[in-house]
Structure 1
Amino acid sequence: MKQIVLVTGATAGFGKAIAERLVHDGYRVIATGRRQERLDDLAARLGPDLLPFRLDMDDAAGIAALPASLPEGWRDVDVLINNAGLALGMEKAQAADIANWQTMISTNVTGMVELTRVLLPGMVARDRGHVITLGSTAAIYPYTGGNVYGATKAFVRQFTRNLRCDLLGCNVRVTNLEPGLCGGSEFSNVRLRDDAKAAAVYEGTKPLLPADIAETVAWVLSLPRHVNINEIELMPTCQAAGGLAVARGMKD
C-alpha cells in the first residue's frame, strides 16, 4: 500500500513542490489549500494519486472535520507536512499592523497545532507516522521586522521538540525543517505586497528553491522508520548568520 501524505499550503511554493515530488516518488498525496483552481490543476497534472482538498488553516471547524470529510481509502494519513504559513509586513513592532500579527499567529501556530492534534491520534493508534513541520531560521536568528513571524516559527520549533517527547515509545517520527533564504515562491510577494520589492530580496543571490525543500523532505521520509531527524537548518551558500548589531551615538 502506498503511504498517504497530507500537505498543507500545496497551491504554491514549497507545498506544491513537495506534493509533486512525493507523487513522483510513489506516495498518495492529499494536497490542501484555499485556492481550489490550483488544487484542481495539480490533480489534472499528477493524476489519481493526488487528491485535491480545499482547507483554510483559519477554519477550526473545517480542520476538526477533516478526517471524516476525506474519501474512503484516504483517511489513514501516514505523513502530515505542516507547510502552510506566511509572513506579513516588515515593520518594527511599534509600527506593525496588529491584524497582520493575528493572521500570522492564526495560520502559523493555531491552524498548525489544530491539524496536528486531529491527525496525530490515528498515527499513534496505527503505530506509524511522521509529522514534518516547515519552520524557519527566523526561529533562531532575530532580525529587524521579524518580530511575530520569528516568534511563530520559534513556537513551531519548540512544539515539534515537545511532540518528540510525547511520542517516545511509538513509531511516529517528528521533524522540523528550518530553511533560510528561499526564492521561487510567493513568500516575499505576500509579505511585502509589492512584486518589485519582493524581487529585490533575491537580487544578486542564489537562494534555496522549493525543489531543494522537496528534496529534503523526500530524503527525510526515505530513512528507515527507526531513524528520526529532529531538525534540519539549511541555508544557501550566499547566506550566513549576521552576528550581533550595535547602535552607536545613542543619547543617554
Structure 2
Amino acid sequence: MTVKTGNERPIIRLEKLSKDYGDFRALHGVDLEVRKGEVLAIIGPSGSGKSTLLRCVNYIEPPTSGTLHIADVTVRAGVDDTTRKIRALRANLGMVFQSFNLFPHISVLRNVALPQERVLGRSRAEAEEVARTLLGRVGLANKADQFPVRCSGGQQQRIAIARALALGPKVMLFDEPTSALDPELGLEVLSVMRELAESGMTMLVVTHEMGFAENVSDHALIMAEGRIIEEGPSRELIRNPQTERARQFLRAVNER
C-alpha cells in the first residue's frame, strides 16, 4: 500500500474554471487542487455540476474560461486550447463513464488492446500482453476471449477500467461508475477502485457511494449549483459538514 504524505505538488490544479451553456452557467469559477496519489470524491445533488466538472477536466466539454494544469500540461480555456495541447492533456488522463462503451463486435482482449495500438502505437502482441495483465488485475483473465455481451454489467465496467489503465494515465477520472449497476455488481467495481487507490493511483471520483467516499477517498468536496460549497478530509466532511446546504444534502442521502 502506498503511503500518502500529502507533500506532493498538485498533479491537478484548476483555476477559476467555468462552463456556460448559452445563458446557463453550469460551473462557477471552480478552484481545485489534487495531489499525486490522492483520491478525491466529488459528491452532491443531481444537476450540481459534478459530471460537468469531470468532463471539463478531460476537455470532453471545453470549459468556457479558466485554466487547467494537469501534470506538466497547462491549458487556458479559449486561449491556447489547441488540438495538440488537448491531446497532451488527455494523455495524462483515463476516464471511466457510467456506460461501458465497449465494442460489442470484438473480444474483451481486443477491447483493451486496440486503443493501445491506435493511441500509443504498440504492436498487437505487446498490446495484448498488457491487456492480459490488466484483465488479470481486475479479476477477468478468464474473460479475455469472450465478447462483452457475455459479461455482466460489473464485469463490463471492470473491462472499461482495464482499458483506461492500459493507456498509462497519471490520473483516473470516474463518473458515477456504479450508477448503472445493481448493488452486488457495483461492489465488484468498487473493489477494483479500492485496489487502485491503495496502489497510489490519483483518482477523481464522482459518486453517490458514500461508503467509498468516506472510507477510501482522502478528500471529498460537495457541489451544488455549479459551485464547491464545502471540501475537506472525507470522513470529517461527511460526518460533520459545516454548511447548512451540505448538511441538507447529506441528510437526504442518509434518509433514502
TM > 0.5: no
With structure 2 as the length reference, what TM-score do the two structures score? Answer: 0.33
Greater strand percent: which structure? 2
